Amino acid sequence: MRLSFEKIKEISEWLDTNQEIKFCHFLNSFDGENVYQKFKNILIKWEYHVNDFLTFTIDGSQIKIPMYYILQELTDDIETPKVFVNNIFSFELQVPKTFQMGVDHIPIYDLISSISIEDVHLDFKNLDRENKQSIIDKLPANLFSKVLEGLINDSSKIFKLNNESLSKFKINFYTNDPMLFLKNLFSNYSKEYFQDIIFYLSKRMSCDAILYSDIKDIDFYVKKYNEETEQQKNTMPSLDF
């Protein structure tokens, strides 16, 4: 998936006009077996096509963090399923397979990958949502509260950066945090930005070429065009006498 200027423009319009379902489909179209893998691949693409840095606004001041550092800290431990054992009952939790729209909390049945009671094991991965829901509904609430307890106390799925100024920055992969983070990321570019770029660069380039470029290309062309314009200004014959 290329994050072209045209694609970023389109996504920006979706987000401006509350078409979250399209955004959600877009995120889910990235490679990866789960939200963690998709999330990481999106950031890799972002680093390649859009920006090498992420800018965080903390308490009014802006902090630039290199994307390579974020990708380096985003370790695969997050996607390792976590097993909880409680007497005769055990269950395995994992990050959800896909991004979900319009929810603050991911349904619990999308986080459970298997449940065992004594010697009977049930793999949730291949069950449809209806079956998952009906099994969870029938679980005794005391067993279910163990699942919830496991979920709430499991910090292994929370991504944090070892940076004091970013201590408030957390992405919990058991929740819809990754989706919200990406929504903010893709909301960085306003309608005016796209208007300005097309108006400015179209004097020098075809619109097709602009739309096909990625944001990093655009930044490069703007810089080059600025230099060119500046140079032209300097080589213009002076009318001063």
Partner 1 sequence: MEDNIKNFLDKVDQLKSDNLKVNTISKNSEIDCESLTFKQQKDIISTITEGITGPLKFQKNLNDIIVENTKDKELKVVDKLLIILQLRKDSVGTVVKLKNNKYDVLNDIIEKAKKLSPKLSKSIKGAISIELEVPTLISESQVINSCIDSVKKDSDKEVGKSLSDIYTFEIVKYIKTVSIKDDVLNFQDLSVRDRVKIVNNLPLSINKQIVDFIQDIKQAELDALSFDTESGESTLEIDVSFFDS
CA distance 94 to 157: 8
Closer to partner 1 by CB, 159 or 174: give it.
Answer: 174
Q: Judged by CB under 8 A, which of 75, 86, 145, 187 binds partner 1?
A: 145
Q: Kindly state the smallest distance separating residue 118's Cβ from partner 1, in Å.
A: 7
Closer to partner 1 by CB, 98 or 116: give it.
Answer: 116
Q: Kindly state the smallest distance separating residue 86's Cβ from partner 1, in Å.
A: 12
| 139 DSSP assignment | S
CB 23 within 8 Å of CB 14: yes
Residues 6+ apart with CB under 8 A from 32: 38, 39, 40, 41
| 169 DSSP assignment | -
Q: Kindly state the smallest distance separating residue 192's Cβ from partner 1, in Å.
A: 41
Which CA distances in Å does 92 have to 131, 165, 202, 224? 17, 34, 55, 54
Residues 179-238 binding partner 1 (CB under 8 A) are: none
Q: Judged by CB under 8 A, which of 148, 187, 212, 227 binds partner 1?
A: 148
Closer to partner 1 by CB, 37 or 114: give it.
Answer: 114
- For residue 189, give the 3-state DSSP assignment: coil
CB 213 within 8 Å of CB 4: yes
Q: Kindly state the smallest distance separating residue 82's Cβ from partner 1, in Å.
A: 19
CA distance 28 to 15: 16
How many residues bind to partner 1 according to rule CB under 8 A?
A: 23
Site string for partner 1, 111-140 (x = CB under 8 A): ----x-xx-x-xx--xx---x---xxxxxx
Q: Report the interface residues with partner 1, using CB under 8 A.
A: 88, 115, 117-118, 120, 122-123, 126-127, 131, 135-145, 148-149
